[in-house]
Amino acid sequence: MKYHRPVAIFLTPVLPLPGQSGRALRAWAWLNDLNRTHKVYVLVADDTGIPVVPADYPAEGVWSVQTKTSSAPKLLRILGILFPPICLLSRRVIADWHFPIKMSAFDHYISELSGEYVNRIVVFRFYLHGLGQIISRYYPTAKLELDMDDLESFTRVSVAGCLIRMKRYRESMHWMASAVQYVLLELFITRSYSTVWLASAQDGSYLRKHIIQNIEERPNRIPLPDLKDINNPNKSDILRLLFVGTLNYPPNEEAILYLLNKIQPEIENRLKRPWKLCVVGRHASPLLTQLLEDASRVEFFPDAERLETFYAAAQIIIVPLRSGGGTKLKSIEAFSYRRPLVSTRHGMRGIGATAGTHYLAAETPDQFADAIALLANDPLLADRISQDGETFCRESYGLL
């Protein structure tokens, strides 16, 4: 008798693709894992329509459902900020929560699966919970799973602190209020899933203390680059430093400001050779763009399609993150390209790398400048850190 693979529905806010954002990359790992045992249908929850899909895409179908975020009247949204528990009564006050625009899209897609055996529904990101519940009503026997990636509540608290340090107090208040909302939702909503997946063991241990639930860790994994063309960094007289990140995300914006205002002057005092800081990142605000374009020794690339060229030219990667949630793909990516990395503790959160072996640790501007100067003046140390970091990444975070 012919064997028919069961069907998995993967609900995601972005099209899973390699070489894209952290969300898209984690979603890509999910898609490849599911495709080994299931026929996978990807349902992209967005307001831009069905994205362009490569011809050899590893899915049976890619669908799209238009969504919108909170549509509550202004007064209700204000009440949601002042009294976060209102979110348990009305999801409309929750920041970033997705609601479908047309329910008919679900009926149409479900009809295409008539006769198929759907035994797995994976909801990728907490704020798609409502859409996941809609799909699960059609397939009540399917295993319903949630990939939170990180703890939204912790991330939002951390971002709120970041915004306070940048003196953006109104934004910080909104992030803190939404953090309280997400704490409540994490405690109640996660119980409806058979498995909840998190990238970091730190986040998983926290949830296990507060809910009776099957919490599992699923580390972020990345496609490993071909190193044959980028093994040897640029050996010119100019030392090239690199920072990569999406620049409309407050923790990355804070990291850039920290680099320009605090760390760069200390690097000037330590280094006796010419150097450049390359910043690669999209969606910078006009103000941040101007700062980067006016800064001395800084090369800013806001529209880079591929990162290989920048990693090939870089000799040291810098991750001065002080806030945010989950595990940092930029740190794992730096390991994968066999480049020495200088990072804060937060930049290594949840990764399990060892300071002094896989990277050099730094928190203060002085420590960053000292670590960069040490790597610049000791090629053997830089090579050892690079190789140990790449080996660690390949064994722990390479996409299988």
Q: What are the structural domains of the chain? A: 7-217 (3.40.50.11930), 227-397 (3.40.50.2000)
How many alpha carbons fall within 13 Å on the CB side of residue 330?
Answer: 26
Residues of the chain with pLDDT under 50: 1-2
One-letter identity of residue 258:
Y
Q: What are phi and psi of 26, to 5 degrees?
A: -65, -40
Going from the C-alpha of 256 to that of each of 214, 252, 290, 373, the distances in angstroms are 38, 6, 13, 19
Q: Which two tokens stand for residue 302?
A: 């806001």
Q: In whole angstroms, give the CA distance from residue 327 to residue 165.
A: 22
CA-angle at 255, arms to 321 and 265, nearest 5°: 115
Going from the C-alpha of 250 to that of each of 15, 157, 247, the distances in angstroms are 23, 12, 7
**Which pLDDT belongs to residue 2?**
45
Query: What is the radius of gyration, based on Cα positions, of the chain?
Result: 22
Going from the C-alpha of 90 to that of each of 76, 183, 227, 305, the distances in angstroms are 9, 15, 51, 40
**Which pLDDT belongs to residue 1?**
38
Going from the C-alpha of 190 to that of each of 132, 156, 187, 282, the distances in angstroms are 12, 18, 6, 33
CA-angle at 389, arms to 234 and 147, nearest 5°: 115
Residues 178, 95 contacting (CB under 8 angstroms): yes
Residues 174, 222 contacting (CB under 8 angstroms): no
DSSP 222: B
3-state SS assignment for residue 82: helix
Task: Say what the pTM is.
Answer: 0.85
Q: In whole angstroms, give the CA distance from residue 340 to residue 344.
A: 14
Nearest to 379 by CA among 184, 239, 186, 191: 239
Q: In whole angstroms, give the CA distance from residue 251 to residue 64.
A: 30
List of residues 6+ apart from 37 with CB closer than 8 A: 5, 6, 8
Q: What count of other Cβ atoms lies within 10 Å of the Cβ of residue 381?
A: 15
Residues 233, 314 contacting (CB under 8 angstroms): yes
**Which pLDDT belongs to residue 22?**
77
- Tokens 């238009």 appear where? 66
CA-CA-CA-CA dihedral for 35, 39, 42, 43, to nearest 10:
-150
